[in-house]
Amino acid sequence: MRRAKISIIGAGNVGATCAHWCAAAELGDIVLLDIPQTENMPRGKALDLMQASPIFGFDSNVIGTNDYADTADSDVIVVTAGIPRKPGMSRDDLLSTNAKIVSMVAEQIKATSPNAVVIVVSNPLDAMVQQVWRVTGFDSSRVIGQAGVLDTARYRTFLAMELGVSVEDVSALLMGGHGDTMVPMPSCTSVGGVPVTELIAADRLEEIVTRTRNGGAEIVSLLKTGSAYYAPAAACAQMVEAIVRDKKRMIPVAAYCDKEYGVGGYYVGVPVILGTGGVEKIIELNLTPTERAAFDHSVQAVKSLVATMDTLLAS
């Protein structure tokens, strides 16, 4: 049986750790690509990972490269390319630089793997996935953003810590944009089947939501010289698994919504069914008035972000 081919664009911490999770789970053969200026770095990481295979007992083949030809005919491509926000860098600086980077990546994907499902991780996420979709021209179901899985994982972690329970018993959902305007869904959050609102006071729950929104920034402040990568990479691997194994997972991703939720043609975080073809169905929930208002506010923030990106790219 042919193994799935998984290409990861960007061999930094997120990309390399994603390769680690995917290889350990034997999700397929992996190509780890980085820009030519990094020379043999991706080859070194790939070789290091391969040498772990006898210890952990996985048979995934992992190669490192600077050449997109090695990624040809990939089944799934994970895009982690881009620069992290640095001290003194404005949001627009990050937006402009990474939009140009992911545009170049998208052109290469379009040329070498026209049938791939693409998972975008680069930030600012909501704008980057929109740009990759535009440049590739792929069906929107095959271009998705990784944000909801990570945000929900952070939320579940903080809820489990608060209640002193297993994370396995916490079920939660977050929607909307990735960042300050993400929308917690109390109506879809429970612990062992018990609504979270019966277990945590409203003011304390709001504090946990705020910590979730600032989850990435909190880690940056602790690390000083980097950003989160274990959890983002694990979230990518879960999405890769859903696709290559056709798991039909119902999970939140940044998906293209037009008529859905009245979004009007933008990528926002919503629950979907994820399988071999990418997004197989967008799940439309009956939001409470409060949830609806928060979701609409988040969608407007995404639209503003995309508009700013378009202005910067045109200048």
Q: Are 282 and 308 in contact (CB under 8 A)?
A: no
**Preceding peptide of 124 cis, ω within 30°:** yes
Alpha-carbon span 171 to 169, nearest angstrom: 6
Q: Compute CA 128 distance to the chain's CA centroid, rounded to the nearest angstrom.
A: 11
- Reading the block at residue 225, the tokens are 């010289």
Nearest Cα neighbor of 146 from 24, 8, 286 is: 8
> Of 154, 178, 213, 303, which is the active-site residue?
178
Q: Is 178 known to be catalytic?
A: yes
Q: Are 11 and 34 in contact (CB under 8 A)?
A: yes
Alpha-carbon span 239 to 248, nearest angstrom: 10
Looking at 114-229, list the stretches that DSSP marks H as alpha helix, in order from N- to C-terminal side.
125-136, 148-163, 202-213, 215-223
Q: Are 138 and 119 in contact (CB under 8 A)?
A: no
All residues at 6 or more sequence positions from 17 whose CB lies less than 8 Å from its CB, including other chains:
229, 230, 233, 234
Residues involved in catalysis: 178
